[in-house]
Amino acid sequence: MGATISIDNILTLIYRGATVSASWDPALSAIVEYFNASTVCLRVAVRGARPFEFRFATGRKVRREILEDWERTQRGVQFTPAPTLGVPEIHNYAEEFPDDPVTKELLEYDVAVSLTYCFENLEDCDYILNVSRGTDDPSFGRAEVEAIKQIGGHFREAVRLRREMVRSKQTSEFQSQALDRLGIAGILIDPFGAVLPLNNSAEHMLAKMDCIRLQRYDRLVAVNRASNRELQENIRKILSGEAGEGQAFAMSLEREDGGRPVGLVLNSARSMCPTSNREENCALLFLRDSGTKFAIEPSLVQKLFSFTAAEASLAIGLASGRCLEEIEGQMRIRHNTARAHLRSIFVKADVTRQAELVSLLANSVVPLAQRSSKLTS
C-alpha cells in the first residue's frame, strides 16, 4: 500500500467531499495512491425496474467523457451482480466474465481485478466503492480488504451528511424562491443580533436602503427614527424572551423618499444556534412592498382558469390595478367587447364582482410560477 498517504489523510478528504460544493475526486485520488490502484470508482447504483449508475472515478486512464459515455450506454444494464452490503468482494473480470465484451473494454483501461465494497443502501440506491488494478498488478490482500472496510464506513457517514446537506439546501432554495415570487423579503436575526437575509428580495431591500439598512456591526435599523425605535423594541422583546414563543408584531416602515410605507411582521421563533449548538430565541422578519407588481404570464392565467387569451389579458390588467377603460385602450377593443369578456370571466372564475376577481388572482398560485423570479416595480 502507498507509503506517502495514510488512512487519516483519506478520511480527511472524504469528509471534505461531503460538503455540497465539493467533489469526491481528491478522496478518490488519495485512495488510488494508497492502494497502488489503476482506478478507483465510487458507484451510485439506482435499483429497480430502470437501473442506472452514476460514477465518480479517478485513475491513470479515467476521463470524464468516458464515464459519461459509460453511464449513457449502460443505462438499464446491471453488469456486475449487486454486492452484499458490508461484505468486501474481489472480482477478476477475465475469469468471471471471459466472454463479455465489457471485460475487454475494462482491460483496456487497466481494470482487471477489483476490490468491491458496498458500504450503503439508501433510498433504493447502492453505494459501492471499487478499487481496481491492471493485469500485471498483484491482487488484493487481507490488509487491503480491512482498509476498504474502514474507508467505506467513513464514506457511508459522509454520503449521509452530504445527502442531508443537499436536501436542506434544496429546501432552503425553494422556500426562498417562493418568497421572492410572492414579493416577500425574509430576514432572520439570531440571538446575538446578526442579520441573515433569507432570499434575494431581502438582499435587494437592504441594498436599496430606503426603509431598512445594515448599520455598523451588521445591526438592522430602520431609516426612519420613529420606525427604528419601534423596530428595535420589538427585536429586543423577541430576543430577550419577553415576547412569548410564536408572538408576532406588525408595523409600517416609513420610506426615506416618503413613498408608501413597507409592511413588516416580526415573529418570535426558536432556532438552533450554530454558536451555542442549542435552541435560542430568534426574530423572523417578513417585509413586503405593496407597490411591487408581478410580471404575470398570461398563458398561466389562461390555463389555470380556462380563460381565452383576451380574457386572461383583461383579468391581469384588472388585477394590476388598471381601470377597464385603460385596459380597453391597451387591448384595442370596444367597451361592449370588454364587458362581454368580463361577464365570461366572472362565470368561469365563479365570482360576481371585480373585487372578488382581483382577490382570486392575487391569492392564486400564479405568482409562484414566475419564470425569472424577478419583480417589476
The per-residue pLDDT for range 99-110, each reduced to its tens digit, is: 888 888 888 888
The model's pTM is 0.74
For residues 149 and 265, state if they share a domain.
no
For CA atoms 101, 60, 67, 25, the dihedral sign is: positive
Averaged confidence pLDDT in the chain: 87
Confidence (pLDDT) at 9: 95
Query: How far is it, in rounded angstroms, from Cα 151 to Cα 96?
Result: 26
Confidence (pLDDT) at 19: 86
Residue 322, domain member (yes or no): yes
Query: How far is it, in rounded angstroms, from Cα 17 to Cα 11?
Result: 10
Question: What does the radius of gyration of the chain's CA atoms come to, in whole angstroms?
Answer: 30
For residues 147 and 45, state if they share a domain.
yes
For residues 193 and 267, state if they share a domain.
yes
Is pLDDT of 365 > 50?
Answer: yes
E-strand ranges in the chain read: 39-46, 52-59, 89-92, 113-122, 125-133, 184-189, 195-197, 212-215, 219-222, 248-253, 262-273, 278-288
Of the three residues 168, 193, 216, the one that is the final residue of a domain is: 168
Of the chain, the percentage scoring pLDDT greater than 90 comes to: 52
Confidence (pLDDT) at 86: 94
Q: What is the CATH number of the domain that holds 357?
A: 1.10.10.10
For residues 88 and 222, state if they share a domain.
no
Query: How far is it, in rounded angstroms, from Cα 40 to Cα 84?
Result: 19
Confidence (pLDDT) at 283: 95
Q: What is the mean pLDDT of residues 79-96?
A: 83
Amino acid letter, 310: A
Residue 1, domain member (yes or no): no
For residues 86 and 188, state if they share a domain.
no
Is pLDDT of 358 > 60?
Answer: yes
Q: Are 50 and 126 in contact (CB under 8 A)?
A: no
Is pLDDT of 334 > 60?
Answer: yes
Confidence (pLDDT) at 80: 57
For residues 115 and 13, state if they share a domain.
yes
For residues 264 and 322, state if they share a domain.
no
Is pLDDT of 373 > 60?
Answer: no
Into how many domains does the chain fold?
3
pLDDT grade for 375, boundaries at 50, 70 and 90: very low
Residue 105, domain member (yes or no): yes
Q: What is the CATH number of the domain that holds 217?
A: 3.30.450.20
Q: Are 264 and 252 in contact (CB under 8 A)?
A: yes
DSSP letters spanning 200-231:
HHHHHHHHH-SSEEEEGGGEEEESSHHHHHHH
Confidence (pLDDT) at 76: 57
Q: What is the mean pLDDT of residues 221-226?
A: 93
Of the three residues 265, 288, 311, the one that is the final residue of a domain is: 288
pLDDT grade for 329, boundaries at 50, 70 and 90: very high
Q: Which residue has the cell 476490490?
A: 115
Query: How far is it, in rounded angstroms, from Cα 32 to Cα 196?
Result: 42
Q: What is the CATH number of the domain that holds 152?
A: 3.30.450.80
For residues 116 and 204, state if they share a domain.
no
Is pLDDT of 27 > 70?
Answer: yes
Q: Which of 364, 342, 338 is nearest to 351 (CA)?
A: 342
For residues 68 and 88, state if they share a domain.
yes
Residue 190, domain member (yes or no): yes
Query: How far is it, in rounded angstroms, from Cα 9 to Cα 195?
Result: 37
Q: Are 34 and 2 in contact (CB under 8 A)?
A: yes
Query: Phi first, then psi: what are they for 288, rounded to 5°?
Result: -145, 130
Amino acid letter, 314: L
Q: What is the mean pLDDT of residues 234-241?
A: 94
Domain ranges, residue 318: 298-369
For residues 87 and 107, state if they share a domain.
yes
